[in-house]
Structure 1
Amino acid sequence: MLLGAAAAGHAATLANSAYTAAELAYQYEDSHAHLVLAHPPLVPTVREMMRSLSIPEDEIARRIIVADSTWLTGAPAELDAGDAAALKGLTRLSELVGRGELAQEIQMPGLLSDSTVYLCYSSGTTGKPKGVESTHHNIISELEILKPTLPPAKVGPALNKQGKAVAPYRDAYFGVLPSYHIYGAIWLLHFPLTMGAPSIILHGRFEPEKFCAAVQLYKATIGIIVPPILVVFAKHPAVDKYDMSSLETLISGAAPLGGELVSSVKERLGKRGADVCITQQYGLTETSPSVFLLPQEHAVERVGSVGYLLPNLEARLVSEEDGEKLTSIEGAGEIWVRGPIVMKGYLNNPTATAKSVTPDGWFKTGDIAVRSKEGFYNIVDRRKELIKYKGFQVAPADLENVLLQHPQIADAAVIGVESKEQATELPRAYVVKTSPELTSAAVQEFVASRVANHKKLRGGVIFIDAIPKSAAGKILRQQLRKRAESEPVELPVRAKL
């Protein structure tokens, strides 16, 4: 659907399938979207969103396209009576596909290549999420930059030890990353096509059993993952039930990798017959996304590093001596990036664009890094206050706004706390309550009913007498982070990935 929209000359905004109607309404209006392509189970949320914007029912029916799979599988999706009723009167993607094809793709040469093609939304540390304008030039540049960093795709049938073909291809990319996220959209939808290799994508929630079974079924060789999936490979019993020997490379992103976790996964998969290289990359929505990649030949000796700067890019580490102290690590600085992958800007937000991109094209990532004399970069801190939960960005200000809507909450602050068990950050709230009857569980339930799944307060709720703030009223999150070091994350029920 993304490539079809691009071929027709349209821009597409990618929305989180877990969004509530209220969250979706903001993106729909801000992006000036018109049509919404939605999988059948998500249509009720889209209807609710449009009704909240006072869009007439007949117009709603014209604006929703049901992304069914009939055109792909040849068989209609099985729907229960409720789903069928919700989809009545709506146009289906299969109907559009049957109406013919474009005489030719819309061309974007020269200056037109700076037209926006994708509009992902990136959470800021303050205010609402911002629409990141990725251009045709950005995306093509990213794909071309990535090509020489990985070995060429091995084509032809995959053979077993007896020489019998077990798959029609040799290399196969595989992952469960959501395609509405720039990481999944590029690495699982676009890059495999560029490399001439198939891509197998699991939709829905990550389930270890299904993931491992699919590796065995499709003989996946290259996995595009995030650190929490490595936790599964290290501990989950499903790994011992399936043939994982086809895996050769695992490329992780969205959060740093720990050496101990990498070693344990390599050892366990090795026992299952997989000689796997585990490496990582670093990037942001604003950089299309990848900026650094750790070459496979250095994956063991440089574990924990995000690797070298990718070709055709510039990077600098900036320490603002007169401003906020970035880090206590000598030689560290905020990563600034310049090159053809840097976004066009934030949609409808020239102020935010000017704060993030310098007049001469340097994008300020907000992440702090050190660089070795050999040219390897390590991320050591984050100047921004974003929480990264399993690759998803969570803005503390967003959750604080929700918390302050509770009638028994006087003040609140949100930080990320590290969970070594899940290899990710978890959002935790510090709350000043006005009623002694208010419980942590009640606060968590209140927030969970109003936000997407990845924004839930999995790090817990802690009641305090006052939120630490500066004289200017800014929340002193560093004090809360220091306090959190003595308040370990408690997970009474093991969270599902």
Structure 2
Amino acid sequence: MAPPQIYTSPYPSHPIRSTSVWTRLFASRDASADVGGYPGSLPAFIDADSGATITRAQLVHLTLSFAYGLKHHPNTSPVATRGSTVLIFSPNSLAWPVVLFGSVAAGLRCTLANSAYTRTELAFQYSDSGATLIMTTEDGLSVVQEMFAEIGIAKEDAAKRIIVLSKDLRWAGGPSAPRSPASNGLLKMEDLLDRGKLDQEEKFEGSDALETLYICYSSGTTGKPKGVETTHQNMTTLIDIVSAPFDLRAKGTVMLGILPFYHIYGIAKLVHAPFCQGCPVVIQTKFEPEKFCSVIQRFRVTHALVVPPVLVILARHPAVDQYDMSTVRYLFSGAAPLGAPLAKQVKERLLAKRGGRGDLVITQGYGLTETSPTTHILEGADSDRKMGSIGKLLPNLEARLVEDDEGKVDAAPGEPGELWIRGKTVMKGYLNNPSATENSITPDRWFKTGDVAVRDKEGYYYIVDRRKELIKYKASMPPAELESVLLSHPDIADAAVIGLYSAKEATELPRAYVVHAHLEKVKSAQAKAEFARSVVKWIESKVARHKYLRGGVGVIEIIPKSAAGKILRRELRELAKREAEQGVLGTEVKARL
């Protein structure tokens, strides 16, 4: 058996730090009492709605005060002990960095829950993570209280486990807001800020840096969500290795934070990485096209982390023409593949507003919750020449492209293979799920990403698609490639492709689901059918014959996606299954499940 083909990063290696995330971000670098190497007076986080701002020095004070409150308040002190877990259930807000880093300073683990979860979904994560406290907004209180009732915790005991993040921002110098009656009698974040202040954070030095820091839940492709154990060392390594290709240190750089902080992409690249480089983040609660554009204009935003659906809107939405977005220099996409046609459309539109002048980089990276998250970044200088690529492997990481499940056969140069990653950003394991850990991480610590990639001669990687989602018609066909082509259609606002198995042809046929850019034009069944036929015909002029949409096209109102923008193909397969049962797809095909 040939030795494995192991690829290394072209970037210089970074020393591995064995310290806590809080120490890495906040500790002074010299005698001037700076915060993490930058003046304490610099803004760190800004509330998009009110403009309320927390400086770096204020954030140090707030997090150490919150940590002290957790350790000394009678409600929280019995359970806020080193290594215990707190769950944050909240949309983006100015309170997030305070409660997150305050909990870390207190030595706690943090598990981050999707703010759209139902009580049942939340109950699973609360119980599975072993959380003892939960932080939520006034709007999330009803779900939290229903969740506690579902798992059998008495109302009086549940009240002691809740910390409310209210809309009142006076603690940050912002505006006041009325209290919700539902929060009466419950502990507020502000109640923990005025009891005292820790002299120093809990230390995680040496081997202690391998203790679990965050537990983010990965949906995976089967079964219940799995808790990914991310250590202090995972996160400090990530912070260091992204600093060169993801440089935010230029004067005047302002980042817009719209990605959900409960997702590893948002928490790592919006709450950690910008702070590490002295870049302020404007926090927007959720993505709304007009508000997104107005916030860019108001705060002169230069950088934004996005997902492909946001770029689809930037390519089409009229709000883009109503606001001054000329300050934007860098759009970084992640969480799902970004095709070159869409990136080109957005760039041409935004530059056209500037008369073709100015710099604008649209690029992307790659990673998973299990890799903390980023393993590849396409640098700005290569963004046009290599658009469609996820870039080069980041420092301190190794990669393989593997043909088989056991890792005995590596893909030939230039050929596709499953991407395996090894390095200090790879997760500790799946919480309470040793079998999933064993199936995902080999004995020699290679993490199997499940994504199929190609590496070109210059060391740039391209994600073909998920291994389990490739459509096999004569040759393997990546759905993401077809989706990228479909998004260049002037009347398609969004698209997704799945495989249908044809018993007649004993192979899979690609079927697309598309969202019309003007839904009012396809309200009738006849209009949908005509548009679907036109799309089938249109794509035949764009792709090779084996990539034709032989499974047809379905016209729907919305493509189901996760909060991070990943297409939920399982839901589309269920839709196709129902269509097959109704005879819409014909009797000879069925959705691959």
TM range (shorter): 0.7 to 0.9
Report the RMSD for the aligned CA atoms in angstroms. 3.4
Query: What's the offset of the Cα at 1:154?
Result: 1.6
**Counterpart pick for 1:187 among 258, 269, 277:** 269
Give the whole-Å Cα distance in 2 for the aligned partners of 1:428 and 1:76.
53
Identical counterparts, % of pairs: 46
Query: What's the offset of the Cα at 1:72?
Result: 2.3
Deviations 1:46-73 (A, max 9, x none): 0000000110111111011001243224
Partner of 2:542: none
Q: 1:325 to 1:145 in 2, by over 3 A?
A: closer
Give the whole-Å Cα distance in 2 for the aligned partners of 1:242 and 1:105.
43
Q: 1:479 to 1:144 in 2, by over 3 A?
A: farther
Q: 1:68 to 1:14 in 2, by over 3 A?
A: same
**Counterpart pick for 1:290 among 370, 374, 381:** 374
Deviations 1:345-372 (A, max 9, x none): 0001111101101111110000000000
Q: Does 1:154 align with 2:250?
A: yes
Q: Does 1:345 align with 2:345?
A: no
Query: What's the offset of the Cα at 1:265?
Result: 0.8
Deviations 1:260-311 (A, max 9, x none): 1111111110022253100000000000100111011110010100010001
Give the whole-Å Cα distance in 2 for the aligned partners of 1:33 and 1:285.
20
Partner of 2:327: 246
Q: 1:298 to 1:66 in 2, by over 3 A?
A: same
Q: Is the 8 A contact 2:455 2:461 kept in 1?
A: yes
Counterpart mapping for 1:193-204 below 5 A: 193-204=275-286
Give the whole-Å Cα distance in 1 for the aligned partners of 2:104 and 2:378.
31
Instruction: Give the residue type in structure 1 aligned to 2:591.
Output: L
Q: Could you state the TM-score of these two structures normalised by the residue count of structure 1?
A: 0.76
Deviations 1:86-119 (A, max 9, x none): 2111100011112222121011001100011100
Give the SS at the match of 1:220: coil
Partner of 2:259: 177
Deviations 1:133-191 (A, max 9, x none): 00000000000000111345122xxxxxxxxxxxxxx0011131000000000111111
Give the whole-Å Cα distance in 1 for the aligned partners of 2:147 and 2:256.
33
Q: Could you state the TM-score of these two structures normalised by the residue count of structure 2?
A: 0.64
Q: Does 1:262 align with 2:343?
A: yes
Q: Is the 8 A contact 1:255 1:424 kept in 2?
A: no
Query: What's the offset of the Cα at 1:238?
Result: 0.3
Give the whole-Å Cα distance in 2 for the aligned partners of 1:187 and 1:68.
25
Instruction: Give the residue type in structure 2 aligned to 1:336.
Output: W
Partner of 1:40: 138
**Counterpart pick for 1:235 among 305, 313, 316:** 316
Instruction: Give the residue type in structure 2 aligned to 1:255.
Output: A
Q: Is the 8 A contact 2:332 2:365 kept in 1?
A: yes
Give the whole-Å Cα distance in 1 for the aligned partners of 2:498 and 2:172.
39
Query: What's the offset of the Cα at 1:463?
Result: 3.1
Query: What's the offset of the Cα at 1:324?
Result: 13
Instruction: Give the residue type in structure 2 aligned to 1:128.
Output: K
Give the whole-Å Cα distance in 1 for the aligned partners of 2:117 and 2:152.
19
Give the whole-Å Cα distance in 2 for the aligned partners of 1:423 and 1:326.
35
Give the whole-Å Cα distance in 1 for the aligned partners of 2:499 and 2:183.
38
Give the SS at the match of 2:326: coil
Q: 1:457 to 1:328 in 2, by over 3 A?
A: farther
Q: Is the 8 A contact 1:22 1:49 kept in 2?
A: yes
Partner of 2:439: 355
Give the SS at the match of 1:463: helix
Partner of 2:76: none
Q: 1:322 to 1:97 in 2, by over 3 A?
A: closer
Bigger mean CA deviation after superposition, 324-333 or 257-266: 324-333
Instruction: Give the residue type in structure 2 aligned to 1:346.
Output: Y
Give the whole-Å Cα distance in 1 for the aligned partners of 2:215 and 2:454.
31
Query: What's the offset of the Cα at 1:127?
Result: 1.4
Partner of 2:208: 112
Give the SS at the match of 2:140: helix
Give the SS at the match of 2:216: strand
Partner of 1:59: 157
Q: Does 1:463 align with 2:574?
A: no
Q: 1:73 to 1:423 in 2, by over 3 A?
A: farther
Partner of 2:66: none
Q: 1:130 to 1:62 in 2, by over 3 A?
A: same
Q: 1:429 to 1:378 in 2, by over 3 A?
A: closer
Query: What's the offset of the Cα at 1:237?
Result: 0.4
Query: What's the offset of the Cα at 1:78?
Result: 3.4
Partner of 1:480: 591
Mark the structure with the bigger radius of gyration: 2
Give the SS at the match of 2:160: helix
Give the whole-Å Cα distance in 2 for the aligned partners of 1:302 and 1:189.
28
Give the whole-Å Cα distance in 2 for the aligned partners of 1:85 and 1:184.
31
Q: Does 1:101 align with 2:197?
A: yes
Q: Is the 8 A contact 2:419 2:451 kept in 1?
A: yes
5+ residue gaps in structure 2?
A: 1-98, 471-478, 502-555, 584-588
Q: Is the 8 A contact 2:402 2:410 kept in 1?
A: no
Partner of 2:291: 210
Counterpart mapping for 1:9-28 below 5 A: 9-28=107-126
Give the SS at the match of 1:35: strand
Q: 1:246 to 1:110 in 2, by over 3 A?
A: same
Give the SS at the match of 1:149: coil
